[in-house]
Structure 1
Amino acid sequence: MKQINDNKISGVIKIYSQGGPEVLVYEEEFVGDPAANQILLKQEAIGVNFVDTMFRNGTFPITKFPMGAGVEASGIIESVGKDITHFKAGDRVAYHHAIGAYAERRLVYADNLVHLPDEISFEIAAALQAKGLTANVLLKIAYQVKKGDILLVHAAAGCVGSLLSKWAKSLGAMVIGTVGSEMKKKQLAGLDGAIALDTENLAERVLQITGGQKIDALYDGVGAATFGKSIELIKHGGTAVLFGYASGFPNVNQTILDQNHISFVSPDIGRYIQSHQHLEILSSEVYKEYLKGTFGEINPTRFPLAEAEEVHRKLENRKTTGASILIP
């Protein structure tokens, strides 16, 4: 086992009970050597995702404490466990789903990691890996977007919604995005239509923008507040993709789906990733699109790791813009 740093003390955020942002506790712990299937990672940037708040607040029940927080980060490998051949000390890597990401150093299973292109900074990786991978799976696998498709994307100014909308446009789709308020509509510049749900009638505006045509596919990361009134806008034989439920899980009207032969997909992103090689391919596609300029500028807001509690407060109160990252 090769090692390039003997400093094993790590600042880390732990959760001892589920609740409000105040349950995020900053402390220090010793990090041991990696097991045969693990690596020791010195983290350079940590992604903050809405799902982090759901693990913290009890939406996803947890019975074993303490537990780590966060699922996404990027950094430099310090040491590798026995028999690992596809990574080595010094490699620049990122991961998108391994609980315990809010830490300076950590052990992580090698198959969770992907190699980072030299042109991608650690901060961009932490802001893009999970969200970009999600967008890729939604566009290419959960529903295969084609040139000429008409798409409705809820929360299109959000992190995943923005990437999804811009990528879909580059594939030749007509993209209509929604936001929660009139003041956010300017964030949807470049789309074929923008709808503020607090001031505009969704159905009327969609049909006005499309010239009376119904949509081929719905992408909904909001859930209860938007899903029910959106499926009636899907054409016969279309697709409804529910990939998040920030407002709660919706009551899915199976009758409408059946009558209109609408495919309903509520994807678990991990289930679409067939192997570690497939994960590397999907991730590399995300970074290629970023380097091509498909997503425009990504300027994540930086916070110190110890301020994770404050970041969660801002995120839940909708006081963040774009991606937020923690810096160890």
Structure 2
Amino acid sequence: MPTNQAPNEASPDTRYRGRFAPTPSGPLHLGSLLTALAGWLCARRARGLWHLRIDDLDQARCASQSVEQILHQLEAHGLTWDGPIRYQHDHLPEYQAALQTLIDQQQVYACQCSRAQLARRLCCGADAAHYDGHCRNLGLPFSDHALRARLRRQAITYVDGWQGVQPSGDIRALGDFVLKRRDGVFSYQLSCAVDEIALGITEVVRGADLMDSTLAQLWVLDALAAPRPAYRHLPVLTDPGSGQKLSKQNHAVPLDCNLAGENLWRCLFYLRQSPPAQLRHAPVQTILQWAVHAWQPQKVPGVPDQAVEPSL
């Protein structure tokens, strides 16, 4: 299976660069497709580039067959990407160099807390985003410990393309998030920020469930004196029965590639693009050509309860 599609016809000096960054812990589901399609449409309408990144740092969660399945699902739905795929596991030296910059700035400290200790001490459980700073001033050695960001009083504000102005208040409310785990795995917050720099990403399109991560990644980008991309956060799709968001953890149904056109039509409906009924059973490329021409990102709903189920 090819891992690189034919490049977009945009001029090579285009400023717009988007990306899609799945974790290969299972196949894509409809919520994944919604995010991928929205980002692909933003890039193609701008005659920009759309990159594919595979977030495979946590090898315990990843499987090679999942990578192949994800690539097949994207290809079946006509969502072509530009340039080589960026596999995170190939870029460990870049993440270490960024971490060292933060260490040199004295913005990192070591943490010895286990998940069990966090769960006992914190009312919110073992979520690193709510760490209480227990080890902040212990001066622990960096070896054999998790490494955390030393957050100081700072407000981080950005304007989200779909969610509006996002003031953080004091970023310390996030807690001193992990930059590198005790087992040596770099965190999502650090690696994602470095990846955006490396690919020259100008706009990130992803789910609204990652908005706290955006604040953390903006902190990293600012600390590294790197340009910030713009952000667009989609409302997440939920299961009509349980009300839970569609996710691999919640056992969302994998995309059926035999229904690629129907899947794309449904996503366009959720994105409030008003796809005509007769388009529902059209070939994938016909649907995508219509979608690029008709794409109006300002119509995308900002809150989940607007993403209602279409009548089938």
TM-score (norm. length: structure 2): 0.27
- Answer 1 or 2: which has greater strand percent: 1
Q: Which has the higher helix share?
A: 2
